[in-house]
Amino acid sequence: MSRESNAVEDHLQSAVHLPNYWEILSKAGKRITDNKLRSAGKQYLTGGKSIMLSGGLPNQKPLPIKKIQFTMSDGHEISLSDKEVAHANSYGLSEGITELRDWLLGLHKLEHKPPQLTRKDHPEPFALTITNGITDGIRTCFHILLDEGDSVLMERETYSNTLTLLQLFAASPVAVNTDEDGINAKDLEAIMSSWPEVHPHSKRPRVMYITPACSNPTGYTWSEQNMVNVYKVCRKYDVIIIEDSAYYFLQFGERQRTFQSIDVDGRVIRLDTFSKTIGAGYRLGWISGPSTLTDRYVLSMSQYTAHPCVLSQIMINHILQYWGYETFNKQMIYTSEIYRNNAEILASALDKYLTGLATWSFPRGGMFMWLKINDIADTSVIMREASQAGVSLISGDFFVPEFKPTCYIRLSFSMADMEDIEQGIKIFADVIKAKKKECLCNGTQ
């Protein structure tokens, strides 16, 4: 057994340090109550027998859709029953369809083995609920956890929408130094220990948002040892970890451990999605973790979006039940291999055209490659000029706090074919060369 594996196993045997959930919740998270109308109609929505004179559910008779059928990529046809079509035409439970939640709970037992489930004496129950995708999941987590003026710990580069959502909640990002193994635990400790002195008028951060598997934008996947090191700092300062796992199943090769798999205390809220593996337009994902927090999540969702799309849930549940866990895993491997092949094509084109102009590392999964452009401090100019030349890419300022200029570019290898990647990188290289020549002539960078 490796030293890294030993460290993880030792950590898994450590005592539970239950978070102070009530103190961590936002004012809204503490204040939010049950949606009384939805609660009153729950008996009907769960199949209870009663004469329905309460809820404002639509009458099925005039609704136009009566039959729904779809064909999977292997030719298998799935037809929804009349009861399922009627359900899709109506409202649903805020927490999602029970059968789908049960299937996903089984997946977590197989894939992550959360200590909350494997430790029979764990004081905090584990729960799972369906969401309207990752972005809505992040928004709802922020609603129940953040107050105006709060600070959130995160990687140096992070998902752009998260930065925008923080602005919505009047909260501030705190970027921690990050490399290919993840957030630097020593730097995290330094930030947290010095917080009262450096920021005497603001609360120490109580939430950390991270994408430890195939990060968007960098493609980095955290090492297991670093996960344990960072987890210990979060335990010391009672920080809740929001684990954004949008790209988890797109890892190349063996999938890495997750924060949920080492969550001895019950301080990890994990967000998953079907967007990258079944379809983004269905707007469906799930959240899992300590029930004290997921229950608050459901209350918040019931007040804002009411419930996830019922039709999407029924369709995806049919797909998962048809596949089973073994075929699901094979499908995930097949999907990740497509992305690996695309990444190798992109890497080959970069070697051919950008050697000496930029530096990069091969990602461990996901959809993106993160490039540092040599001798150019603001890549937003490169992005604009590449766009004018017919190549779409994203400059690094989209992914850093305050959207400051950077020397980085994010390239996606998810959609373009071999010929387009080759041509696009050649054009990209020409744009960089032209910009460097212009800077030399002007005496600037």
Say if residue 264 is in the same domain as residue 290: yes
Strand partners, 175: 154
Based on the fold, state whether residues 321 and 377 are members of the same structural domain.
no
CB atoms within 10 A of CB 260: 24
Least confident of 22-36, 38-52, 95-109, 378-392: 38-52
Q: What is the mean pLDDT of the chain?
A: 92
Q: What share of the chain is helix, strand, coil (3-state, %, to 5)?
A: 45, 15, 40
Whether residue 105 is contained in a domain is answered as yes
What's the pLDDT score for residue 47? 60
- Look at residues 316, 325, 274 and name the one whose alpha carbon lies nearest to residue 78: 316
**Domain termination site, one of 275, 306, 326:** 326
- The proportion of the chain whose per-residue pLDDT surpasses 90, expressed as a percent, equals 81
Both 268 and 182 in one domain: the answer is: yes
CATH number, position 406: 3.90.1150.10
Query: Coil, helix or strand for 406?
Result: coil
Q: Domain range holding 87?
A: 23-47+60-69+80-326
Tell me whether residue 1 is in a domain: no
pLDDT, tens digit, for every residue of 176-202? 999 999 999 999 999 999 999 999 999
Residues 276 and 350 grouped into a single domain: no
Alpha helices in 67-199 (DSSP H): 82-88, 98-111, 115-118, 134-145, 160-168, 185-198
Same-domain check for residues 41 and 116: yes
400/300 same-domain check:
no
pTM metric for this prediction = 0.93
Distance (Å, whole) CA 405 – CA 400: 9
Per-residue pLDDT at 44: 54
CB atoms within 10 A of CB 342: 19
Question: Which helix (H) or strand (E) segment is 412 a member of?
Answer: strand 408-412
| Rounded alpha-carbon distances, angstroms, from residue 91 to 42, 58, 59, 259, 373 | 10, 9, 12, 34, 50
Which amino acid, residue 436?
K
Report the CATH number at residue 35. 3.40.640.10
In a domain, 233, yes or no: yes
Q: Which of 267, 275, 144 is nearest to 210 (CA)?
A: 267
| Count of structural domains, the chain | 2
Measured CA to CA, the distance from residue 325 to residue 327 in angstroms comes to 6
Indicate whether 368 and 227 sit together in one domain: no
Asked whether residue 354 is assigned to any structural domain, the reply reads yes
The pLDDT of 3-15, averaged and rounded, is 83
Element (H, E) at 296: helix 291-304
